[in-house]
Structure 1
Amino acid sequence: MSFFNDFTKEVIGTGILLLIVFALRIITSRLVRRFARVTHIIEHRTNLVVKYLHLLTNILAIIALILIWGVQPKDIIIAISSITTVVGVAMFAQWSILSNITSGIILFFSFPFKIGDVIQIHDKDFPIVAEIEDIKAFHVSLKTKEGEMIIYPNNLLFQKGISIMKHHFDDNEFVD
């Protein structure tokens, strides 16, 4: 019982924070889904936005929880800067992974094409005409007219020219 007597403010603050986080997650999910319905955005991307917003909410809640329980803000800043330094060095060593993540984020927010679009990648050594099956954080899944599945890294989509074809495979024939 002495725990609750000693930490009454912290326990009450934690309970209030958990209620706020729960309400915030519900509200953001509903707002994003409503926006997606109005703008006709694909469900897959809507789920990704909701997932990223929940992740951001959880990170902020953890920081708030740490502050509620009495950790000094300068200690939090030191811990976060140490973690980001280690992650930064590790990611610098793996620049292609970082490049694909960054490209995936740009693709996510800029919406240059969507799932179901037929694109032509202008690569002189290996040109590709394919339909976009899925857009993920690291790569795009493409399906050619012949049924071949191609996993194409996101960072290459920004290095190569891309044309979005007007018609689906079934509607016309392709000429080289």
Structure 2
Amino acid sequence: MQEKLIIQSVLSVGLLIVYSIAKFLTRRYTEKFATSRKFKKGRAADTAKIINSTFLIVSLIILGFIWNITFEGLAIYFASFFTVAGIALFASWSILSNITASAVLFFSFPHRIGSKIRIIDGDNTVEGSIVDMTLFSLHIEVEKKKIVFYPNNLAVQKPIMEIMD
């Protein structure tokens, strides 16, 4: 029994070390990526938080397996949690999709702040200059001092053209 406790403790410490290294490398890589693409530091920090949150959830699940946490006694709590989480996710699906789209745009979006773009969306086509890119939306200046907040999840789905002057 004592030997099993030592093994679990060593695995837990190892997992903590791996999680810390992954967190550090994620922040470093996103900052380096943001610098190379001339993005704002805030975008890099937001993207790193999204990725590190995923690492945390996976690490907690692995920790549960290391310590043989039985789910039989936790069934009522899990059922309650997933019911509330399901309702919350359904109510805020657009928020989650915008956050996910923000991470996708961070790594694959070829346009920068200052780029003139046209988002082709039928009757709702938007044309202007990107003034900011946040966790939830692109801020596009369509006229002097008139800004459209275009959701990230729609920006991922719609064709975007860069307008060359």
TM > 0.5 between the two? yes
3-state SS in 1 of match to 2:135 = coil
2:39 matches 1:42: yes
Higher relative contact order (CA 8 A, sep 6+): 2
Identity within the alignment, %: 32
How many angstroms apart in 1 are the aligned matches of 2:158 and 2:92?
Answer: 21
Alignment correspondent of 2:113: 115
Check the 8 A contact 2:113/2:131 in 1, yes or no: yes
The CA RMSD measured in Å over matched residues stands at 4.1
The 5-angstrom pairing of residues 59-78 of structure 1 reads 59-72=57-70
User: Which one of 137, 141, 163 corresponds to residue 161 of structure 2?
Assistant: 163
The 5-angstrom pairing of residues 1-176 of structure 1 reads 8-34=6-32, 40=37, 42-44=39-41, 45-72=43-70, 83=81, 86-94=84-92, 96-97=94-95, 100-101=98-99, 103-122=101-120, 128-157=126-155, 162-167=160-165
Residue 68 of structure 1 aligns to which amino acid in structure 2? I
Alignment correspondent of 1:172: none
Runs of 5+ unmatched residues, structure 2? none
Check the 8 A contact 1:138/1:153 in 2, yes or no: yes
Check the 8 A contact 1:28/1:50 in 2, yes or no: yes
> Closer, same or farther in 2 for the Cα pair 1:100/1:81, shift >3 Å?
farther
- Structure 1 residues 107-141: Cα deviation after superposition (integer angstroms, max 9, x where no partner): 34541533221123456766543211222332211
Q: Deviation of residue 14 (structure 1)?
A: 3.0
How many angstroms apart in 1 are the aligned matches of 2:51 and 2:96?
Answer: 21
Runs of 5+ unmatched residues, structure 1? 168-176
3-state SS in 2 of match to 1:114 = coil
How many angstroms apart in 1 are the aligned matches of 2:157 and 2:24?
Answer: 39
> Closer, same or farther in 2 for the Cα pair 1:159/1:84, shift >3 Å?
same
Give me the TM-score of the superposition, normalised by structure 2. 0.65
Give me the TM-score of the superposition, normalised by structure 1. 0.62
How many pairs align? 163
